[in-house]
Structures are given as structure tokens and as C-alpha cells.
Chains A and B, each alone.
Chain A
Amino acid sequence: MKLKWSGVAVLAIFASAAHAQSSVTLYGAIDSGVFYQSTAAASFAPTAHNNGHVYGIKDGSLYGSFWGIKGAEDIGGGYKVNFRLQGVFNSSTGKLGLADTTGGTAVFNQQATVGLSGAFGTFDAGRQYTPMIYAMADTDVRAAQYFGSILGAWLGLNQAAGWPGTNTNVPIGALYDSNALVYQSPKFYGASVALEYAPGGVPGQIQGGTRESAVLRYSNYGLNLSAVYYNAHDTNLAAATPSGLNNNRFYYLGAKYTFRGVSVSASYGIGKNPSNTSLADYEMISGGLGYQFTPFFKITSGFYYLKDRNNSANHSSEYAVGAEYSLSKRTIVSAQVGYVANRGTMNQTIMYGQIVAPGVSTTAAMIGLRHSF
């Protein structure tokens, strides 16, 4: 019986693609808005200064603009071959999103995968989202959005660890991994596991540039639980020869509970350089509270705290609150406000890609429109 159910589940997941086997599905979203921030900086450099307030058009009120192509082919016996190509673009400028290489861009910077799915689960090879980012989005009331969320907090941890913000090869954890092999198990009573291994592809090296991660998730009874282990070698090295140095480790535990209209979330994470914790050792704590007033209107809020475990003078507290109203099934308008108190060398941002100077407290607000297609 269990096997049968798995088959049904797989069929259901790919039902939309099943009738379009010989063609592909084009999908995506365009998201833009008016943005204000009380301070700004030119880069994430420790010496960056506050250049004053900014006011402008900004891509990504909820998430970044993106587009993708996906498809699935039924090869019989309950198996399917799947592919997905997906990348972000900036709706303000038309520019493509960041690649692993500093300053570089990639057409399909989010996902470029081919894989197999069946009763065993799914297996995908290529550039893709890491399992850890889904685990974090699942356990954040603000769902790892661009404005004031667990995504910005985790990136704040990376900025503190020296990430320049101009590539996707971050020092702690990862949002995307290239050359990755990811296995996702089916759910058993709501529980599932995802395993990732990315061979480094470095000549003469077995550990050079490798990444591995394991994520445990549970989702039932209104409760989402996530546990993340991520470890990588030679990440965020600027043009240096990979040596197999184990320099990226991230642990995360998170929970979100939904009862009637109310959602509550909390999480705890640690990110460090396991080879030398004096270079990077940070703590991340989050809390969230949201209320769905009607199926079309909700308010979400979050608190995100970062701490440097090597120097207690460096810490950051961020508060964000946002209202989302669905104009239709495909279009959402939103209004959001955030405040971040950065201390010491911390430069946690409120909005993804909108840089603030170290130790400078900042307020930001955004009104946006997101249309999915």
C-alpha cells in the first residue's frame, strides 16, 4: 500500500507537467517597488561609510524577479526525468543575477538541473538551491523573503564573515551550490530527509571545493520542523588555489507553528569557519509572528539577531513587519517597514542587496507589486 501511495503522490506532483510532456512550462515572476532607506553604503567593506538616505525603485518586494523553464518526461515504471532552468533578473535594470565568480553573472544562476524522480524520492544534478534554504524558509513566518527575513539575517552572518556581496559563493552555508548532487526522500508521516554532495572537481584534490549537507524536515499537524547541517571546503576564496581547507560550517534548528490564522516561528543557528573559529564564529536567532486576516490579507513580522561569538561588541538586531494583499491569484501588493540596530562591525541589511555601513542603525520601507506568471 505504501508503495502505491508514493506512486500517487509522484503522479500528483507532476500532474501539471504530465499533459505537457512534449513541451516545456515557462514560469516566473516580476517584482518591483518603491524603496526608501535612511542610510546606505557603497560596499560591505569594513571601512564603508554611511552615504546618506536612498530613495528609488527596487527589484524584489517579496522575492527577486525571476524566470524559468521546467519539464518532466514520464519514462514508465513510476519514474520521471525532470529538468529545470531558472535564473533571477533585476526588473529595474534588466540585468542578470550573480554567479559564483565574483562580479560575474549567470543566465540560470538559481537552477540548472536534470534528474530523476520516483517512489524513491527525487534526485537532481547541477546548479541548484541548497536543501538548507528551504529548511530556513519553512521555519520563518516571513518565509525568507527579500525584505527583513531569515534570508537577510543569514546573509548578514556572511557579510560579517567577509562576503563581499558580489558573488553567490558565500563563506557560511549556501543559497545555491554549483556541481551539486541532491537527493530528496519522500515523506514518511510528514518527515523527510535531503542529502547533498557537491564534488569539487579540483585536479589533484579529493576535498578541494567539496560541499556536503544534510537536512531533516517535518511538516504535519500545523508544525514545520527543520534541522540543518552544512559543511564545505574552500568557499569564498578570491582567486586562490583550492587546498581542501574545511572553512564553512552551518548548523540550524527551526520551527514554525500555524493555528487558525496565527503563525509563530523560532530558530537558532551557528555559522563558523571550522578550521579557524577565530576568523568566523557567529550565532543567529530568529522569531516570527504572523496573522492571516482573510485568505487575501496577512501581516507578518520577524525579529532577527546576530552575534559575533569572538567579540561580543559586534551584534545586530533587526525588526521587520509587512502587510501583503492579494489582488488576484497571481498578483500581490505589499507594504513593509524594517529597522536594524547594527553594533560594532555588523552590517546586517534590511533589504536584500541594499547595503548598509558597519555599526550604523537603519530604517527602511518598501511598497511593492509582485506578479507571477
Chain B
Amino acid sequence: MKAMNGLRVAFGVAIAATSISAWAQDGAAAGASADTAVTASGGMTAKATRQANRALRRKVYAALAKHKEIDAGDISITAKGGAVLITGTVQEASQIDTVTEVAKGVAGVTSVTSKLTVQRPFGQ
């Protein structure tokens, strides 16, 4: 399983490397490397990979919903293999660590990259 996860991460990195801009990945890059996906992840199709990524993304958001002080509507979470990328804003500096820890605690998450910044709530 560990080797497979490693391959999945490698595949994720490959996709990231080939895509020009981060937010255009889903369409272009995933389609172009669909053949690679089948061979690289041992039978897992590109579609199945995307579904797994989305499921993991939802699990991280669901975990964040339990922390009521955090507005996850201002936070973007994407997953590739077990690697989770977090961007967006939180209202207090301490919440950056909270979000990272919560994401790390979700089953299936192997690494967390946080690019969160602090944006004070309106009027403060």
C-alpha cells in the first residue's frame, strides 16, 4: 500500500508539474495523462483518482466543520493522492495551525501544504 501511495503522490506531482496554471489542472492535465494514470497507479483510472481526491477533500472540509470558529467558506482545499493543499484566509493567526492539524488528522491525508493567510474579520 505504501508503494502505491508513493506512486499516487508521484502521479500527483507529475500532473502539477505539467499544468501551466494551478486552477486549470482538472480539465487539461488529467485528460492528457489518462494513459499514464492507468499504468502508474496499477489499474486506477484517472476518473477514479479524481473521485478519490474529491472524497478526501470533502472529508477534510467535514472535519473542519466541527471547528465552529473557522469559516471554511474562505478556505480552498484540494487533494492529490494523500497530499492536501490548503489556500485562502482565516480570521486569526492561530487558526492557520488549527486548520493544518485538522487536515493532518483526517484518514488518508499523507501531507499538508498550507498557504493560508490571516484576513481580519470585517470591522476589526
Contacts and interface: CB of A to CB of B under 8 A. Distances in A.
A260 B71 contact: no
Interface stretch (A44-52, A216-224, A353-361): A216-224
A90 B117 CA distance: 27
Contacts of B119: 143
B69 to A, nearest CB: 5
A interface: dominant SS: mixed
B67 A9 contact: yes
Interface stretch (B2-10, B27-35, B43-51, B90-98): B90-98
B65 A143 contact: no
Nearest to B120: A372
A68 B65 CA distance: 30
Interface string B103-124: 0000000000001111111111
A51 B78 CA distance: 52
B35 to A, nearest CB: 26
Interface string B42-74: 000000000000000010010011111101111
Interface string A326-355: 100100000000000000000000000000
Nearest to A28: B124
Interface string A1-21: 000011011001101100000
Contact of A260 (B22, B58, B67): B22
- Chain A contact patch, size range: 35 or more
Contact of B123 (A129, A190, A223): A129
A225 B73 CA distance: 8
Which of B23, B67, B73, B124 has the largest number of chain A CB atoms within 10 A? B73
B4 to A, nearest CB: 26
Contacts of B92: 16
A134 B115 CA distance: 24
Contact of B22 (A68, A134, A261): A261
Contacts of A307: none
B72 A13 contact: no
Interface of A: 5-6, 8-9, 12-13, 15-16, 27, 63, 68, 86, 110-111, 129, 133-134, 137-138, 143-144, 186-187, 189-190, 218-225, 256, 258-262, 292, 294-296, 326, 329, 372
| Cβ-closest 9 pairs across A and B | A219-B73, A224-B73, A9-B68, A137-B122, A219-B71, A187-B68, A220-B72, A295-B117, A13-B69
